Structure formats: C-alpha cells, structure tokens
Amino acid sequence: MSNLKQLRAPANDFRNEDVRPVRNRPPTAMIRESLNSRYDTALAAVESRTCHSWKMALDRSKVMISAPNLGGTQTPQVIVQSAEGCRITDIDDNVYIDLCMGFGSNLLGHAPPVVEHAIINQIHQGWNFGLSSETQLELADLIGTAGPANERVLFCAAGSEATAIAMRAARAHTGKDVIGVFDGAYHGGHDSVLITADSHNPGKKVHIGMGVPDALDETVEPLPYGSFKALQRIRDLKHTLAAVIVEPIQQSFPDSDGGLWLKDLEKTCRDCNVLIILDEITTGFRLAFGGGQERFDLSPDMVTYGKAVAGGLPAGVLAGRANIMKVFSPDNGQPAVFAGSAFAGNPLSVAASLATLSYLNDHRDTVYENLEKSAEYFANSVNKHWLENKIPLHIVRFGSMLRLFLQPGPAKRDRNIGQGTGSIEDAFFVHLLDRGVTLHASRSIHLSTSNTREDIDISIDAMIGASEDCAADGLFRVAM
C-alpha cells in the first residue's frame, strides 16, 4: 500500500447498524406505469448492495446541499470510499468501473502513481504558501509549449475562475463590454456565462438558474454555435463586442464537424478586432497535448485550462498573448486587472500538474492515439448495436470525449439535456449500476489511460444490457 493510501481516512463505518435501504424518492410516474421484473429486480439488487450509501445520503441531505443534476435525474446513491485506475469503491465495498472520471479531470485514471508520487513529495514540503514556488516557473514553461497563444501564463484556482478572469481581461484590453457566448456551451458557474439564448426564441436571453441579475444581459451576446449566422452577428456587433469565448469541442455535444467553422470564426474575430478566447477546460491536454489549438490549428488570443491539467486536483490556468496579458500589470499609472486568488498556483496543485503534463508530454506519441482508438471502439460498438436493434440511444464522440443521448430522435446541441426522459434515465442508471458501471447524470463519458480493453468491453456490455432491459420494459415506447 502506498504512503498516500495510508493517509486516506477510513469511511464512516455503518456496517454494525441495522440499515435498510432508504428510498428518498418515488419512481417517476412513467416508470410506475411500466414496472416489470427487470427494473424491479435491478433496483432491489442495487439497493440491497448499497444500504450504507443510502443511509449516508439521507444523513447528508439533512446537512449538505448538492447541486441538482441537469436532467433532473436522481440516480441511486453511491458514496465513494476510494478510487484507483478506472474503478471506484463505495462504502458498501462495491466496485464499479467509473465512466465519469472526475468530469474528465482524471485523464491518467484515479490516483495514478506518477501524480501520487509528486503529491506525496510536495506534502512533506508544504501545500499552500501564499507566495511563489520554484515549480511554478517550470510548469508555466511547459504549458507555454502547448500552443502559440500561450506566451504568458496566469494560475487560477479552478476553471470557472480562469474563464471569468479571461473575460475581464478581454474587456480591459479592448475597452468594450460585451462577450459573445455560444449556445450549448459550458464555461463555469459565474454569472456572466449563465445567460444563453432561448432555444425556442433565439432573440430572447434566458438565465440558467435563478439569481443571475438582469443587468448582466447587456454584457453577454448569445450566438449559435457552428452557424455562419454567428459570424455575421459578430460583424454587426464589432464595436461593442470585446471577445467571444468558445469551446473547440463542446462537452455538451462532442461532435467533429466544427473545425472549418472554428477557423472562419477566428478569421472573423481578427477582421473585427474582437478577441477570441478558447475554452480548453475540458479539451486541453485531452484531445492532444496542444488540445484544440493543435487539433484544429487555431491561434486564439487567450486560452483557459482546467480539469486534466492537475491529474484530478483543483486547478485552472489562463494563458494568452503577451500584449493582452500585460493588462494584469500596472502600466503608466493605470490600474491592473484584478486576478487575486488565495489558492491559485498552490504548490500541491502545481506539483500534480507538473507530473501530469510531463507524463503526457513524454508519452504524447502513444497516449492520444490509444485514447482515440479506445473511445472510437467504445462508441462504435454500442452505436452499432443500438442502430441494428432500433434502440433510440446514441453516443456522440470526439477524441476521448463522449456523451450519451437517451432520447428518441436525433441528438441535439443543448445544455438543457434529457427533458422528458427521466423515466429512461432512472432505469438506465439503475441497470448500469447493477452491472458494475457508474455514469453521471450529465451523461458525459471520459475515458482515461487506465482503461484496458477488458474494462471497455465490460462497459460496452453494461451499456447494451441496460438499454435492452429498458427496451424490454417498454420505456422507449412510453417516451416516444
């Protein structure tokens, strides 16, 4: 057992208590109407094996607030005790293959030895100084090699912080206030990016969740992703538009048809004196070592990173061209852009980042090719089965980013996923868990270097089996 694993605190032990499964939600009405032995059997089996997770979930609900799932789905509760490679173990000692992988942050798997070793070494030297550390420069230099835009590097505490500061820097550099955002995008949880176009009325702006001030509507311009109408809108707004922020591949719809459009977007922004911020929070160091910049030969003005950067630890990075990033330094008596953060560039995250990115850099000739082949095999296998058997499910994929669509009809580019499919989701996730596979309600799937062919085959069989059980229960007919 490694030193780090010895440091891990044991989970609360409920095993000596008389615990019964706690159902803190009734089945959805649609499932109630179509109950049969497959769903009942799977649910009973899962609940009998996760008694302690259910009890802890109920105890947590009395104290803790959890963010709602986008699709409204409430999957059976799994409280994680430990994780290694592509597997997690819950507090009932059940082991699952994990398809979420920290929302893509665990590119090398859970607790990869190279990152674990770096973390342990840093723990002995301290983990938050509030001052600069020598490893920051080494990491910044390495990030600088990942793309032409990465001339200067600013460390942030998380991806949301990086995108917020990037937008602030764009406004300061250009003297303009409006930021263009694209439908279906996710750029974090700060107010400015929780404004989007109404899918039923593109001219109307809507807020994602409550508490976003209406006054911010004037500072954000929603644009249609992948559409040449967006390019014309940028031309129309060039005198007020400071920047557009765009994911090279949207995690909400990771398809592969946007490369030429991204080049046109970049040219349009250049012609209009509008900055382009490439949000590589998810794609950075995952699609390639150079992320979307490398895959699509892009030259943005600023780039944001997160997730895969630090091997699972919280970290964010803003990189950009030197002439833009100088807004963070006082000049001729002018105040600088504020970018303070107590945990930005902390030694522990920097050590994990340096270990992760050094490994990816040293193995870039094999890592990305293997990830791509694994993801292609995974997606093609399940999609082929579903198509041949007329099961209305589909996986959309680019690189090692995948997303499952559980709904009749063609997949759509939309952050508001799964409307009207709660019955399918509830049942599908139960059947997956019963087969030893976990999938987050966002339905995003991220493979890691720790997934073997056997792991992927198990996941494929679980996906196919879960879909067949849902079909046998008549859930797809109900949803359609």
Q: What are the pLDDT digits (tens) for 307-360?
A: 999 999 999 999 999 999 999 987 766 778 988 888 999 999 999 999 999 999
β pairing state of 152-156 and 316-320? antiparallel
Its pTM stands at 0.87
Q: What are the pLDDT digits (tens) for 367-418?
A: 999 999 999 999 999 999 999 999 999 999 999 999 999 865 445 555 444 4
pLDDT at residue 25, rounded to an integer: 42
Percent of the chain at pLDDT above 90? 60
**Domains of the chain with CATH codes:** 19-56 (no CATH), 125-362 (3.40.640.10)
- Specify burial of residue 329 (Cβ count, 10 A radius: 0-12, 13-18, 19+): exposed
CA distance linking residue 29 with residue 475, whole number of Å: 12
What contacts 378, CB < 8 A, 6 or more positions away?
395, 402, 445, 447, 456, 459, 460
Q: Let me know: does 423 contact 35? Beta carbons within 8 Å.
A: no
pLDDT at residue 60, rounded to an integer: 77
pLDDT at residue 9, rounded to an integer: 37
423 — pLDDT class (breaks 50, 70, 90): confident
Check whether 238 has a pLDDT greater than 70. Answer: yes
Where does 145-284 have alpha helices with state H?
159-174, 228-236, 259-272
- Angle at alpha carbon of residue 194, lines to 193 and 195, rounded to 5°: 90
242: Cα separation from own chain's centroid: 26
pLDDT at residue 384, rounded to an integer: 95
Token pair belonging to 478? 């109900």
37 — pLDDT class (breaks 50, 70, 90): low
CA distance linking residue 152 with residue 173, whole number of Å: 15
Place of tokens 């001219």: 203
φ/ψ of 278, rounded to 5, equals -95, 115
Q: Let me know: does 322 contact 295? Beta carbons within 8 Å.
A: no
Angstrom CA distances, 321 to 147, 335, 442, stand at 10, 19, 34
